[in-house]
Amino acid sequence: MTTIYTSDIEEAASFIRRGQLCAFPTETVYGLGADATNPEAIDRIFEAKRRPADNPLIVHLADADAIGEVAREIPTAAADLAAAFMPGPLTLVLPRRPSLPSGVTAELDTVGVRVPDLEVTRRFLAACAVPVAAPSANLSGRPSPTTWEAVREDLDGRIAAVLTGPPAERGLESTVVDCTTPQPTLLRAGAIPTERLAYVVPDLVVGAPEDAAAPRSPGMKHRHYAPHLPVHLVDSVAEVADPERSAFIGLALPKSCIWMPRVRLCSSVEEYAHDLYDFMRQCERDGVERLYCERVPDEGLGRALMDRLRRAAQG
């Protein structure tokens, strides 16, 4: 199939309404959208991404007021989190309405919902006029795409359309919180730091960072976020071997250390999180043989960043 690349929101939404797949920008990463009420459209997502069928999809809505269309109940913690962080990079797992096709939620009794905080995304979702199920728009197991060009790299010829928009502002996926448990539980660290969530829901259950490998969220047990090159976690650029064929990404270092051909120095953890997936893809294209990533403290956004880095290093 020939993939259409368009910046026309109405045209992009028409693919969703016809049961086709259309990738679209969000503030976190690009998503691969399909009509969440159409079981055949949902099957197409799993096919196009080569995604395991047991990994549920997040349902995207233009407005938090529409959550009741896909969730049969909104627990207090969820309502509080929604009021504080929606629209934004937060996904709430809620009891699902039985009317939702079971393929969306991988047969689970729950559904993940998110209201993205990007004007073009909200207008796109409003134009679709249906809830839009969307995983990140990469081939399963690859780094999430932060630009429409990265979507093209993985999915050109496999999906009907791409709504071309700006590069993702955050570059890291949404934080996922399960609100169906007696206490709200962090399932995936993400763009909103857990410390900020805890202001609103002090009883939030957050596992040890290294426990992330224990799959609470089905998607987290699959190989994830990994580029096609070995990734090593280090404490500084001084640990890099074979600098000619390697690359390094990390926080700003003294200028005297910048002797490698491929170094990405980031001035903050936010910038590091923003640049990581893009840099991984760039290293692959450049034929880099080894990627060294600087460790950061497991706090704030660093928790989500370290989660992705550990997974990539497990590769």
Return the number of the residue (38 or 146) whose C-beta is nearest ligand TXA: 146
Considering only 22, 42, 45, 58, the residue that binds ligand TXA (CB under 6 A) is 58
Shortest spacing between CB 218 and ligand TXA, in angstroms:
4
By C-alpha distance, which of 212, 136, 217 is closest to 176? 217
How many residues line the site for ligand TXA (CB under 6 A)? 29
Q: Pick what 249 binds: Mg ion, ligand TXA, none; C-beta below 5 to 8 Å, kind-dependent.
A: none
Q: Tell me the two tokens of residue 221.
A: 């047990």
Considering only 37, 136, 146, 185, the residue that binds ligand TXA (CB under 6 A) is 136
Shortest spacing between CB 177 and ligand TXA, in angstroms:
10
Considering only 26, 110, 121, 136, the residue that binds Mg ion (CB under 5 A) is 136
Q: Pick what 31 binds: ligand TXA, Mg ion, none; C-beta below 5 to 8 Å, kind-dependent.
A: ligand TXA
CB atoms within 10 A of CB 109: 11
How many residues line the site for Mg ion (CB under 5 A)? 1
- Please state the three-class secondary structure of the chain as a single string: CCCEEECCHHHHHHHHHCCCCEEECCCCCCEEEEECCCHHHHHHHHHHHCCCCCCCCEEECCCHHHHHHCECCCCHHHHHHHHHHCCCCEEEEEEECCCCCCCCCCCCCEEEEECCCCHHHHHHHHHHCCCEECCECCCCCCCCCCCHHHHHHHHCCCCCEEECCCCCCCCCCCEEEECCCCCCEEEECCCCCHHHHHHHCCCCECCCHHHHHCCCCHHHHCCCCCCCCCEEEECCHHHCCCCCCEEEEEECCCHHHCCCCCEEEECCHHHHHHHHHHHHHHHHHCCCCEEEEECCCCCCHHHHHHHHHHHHHHC
Return the number of the residue (122 or 188) whose C-beta is nearest Mg ion: 188
Binding to ligand TXA (CB under 6 A) within 99-118 occurs at: 105, 108, 110-112, 114
Angle at 29 between CA 211 and CA 66, to 5 degrees: 95
The 203-222 contact track toward ligand TXA, x by CB under 6 A, reads: --------------xxxx--
**Residue 121 makes contact with Mg ion by CB under 5 A:** no
Considering only 93, 150, 197, 276, the residue that binds ligand TXA (CB under 6 A) is 93
Binding to ligand TXA (CB under 6 A) within 269-298 occurs at: none
Using CA atoms, how far residue 303 sits from 46, 273, 308, in Å, is 29, 10, 9
CB-closest chain residue to ligand TXA: 219
Return the number of the residue (151 or 296) whose C-beta is nearest ligand TXA: 151
Shortest spacing between CB 134 and ligand TXA, in angstroms:
5
Shortest spacing between CB 114 and Mg ion, in angstroms:
13
Binding to ligand TXA (CB under 6 A) within 12-51 occurs at: 26, 28-29, 31
Would residue 278 be called left, alpha or beta, if left means φ above 0 and alpha means ψ between -120 and 50 degrees? alpha
Considering only 21, 36, 86, 176, the residue that binds ligand TXA (CB under 6 A) is 176
Binding to Mg ion (CB under 5 A) within 197-226 occurs at: none
**Residue 105 makes contact with Mg ion by CB under 5 A:** no
Pairing of strands 246-251, 263-266: parallel
Q: Pick what 164 binds: ligand TXA, Mg ion, none; C-beta below 5 to 8 Å, kind-dependent.
A: none
Shortest spacing between CB 141 and ligand TXA, in angstroms:
11
**Which residues are near ligand TXA by CB under 6 A?**
26, 28-29, 31, 55-58, 89, 91, 93, 105, 108, 110-112, 114, 134-136, 173-174, 176, 187-188, 217-220
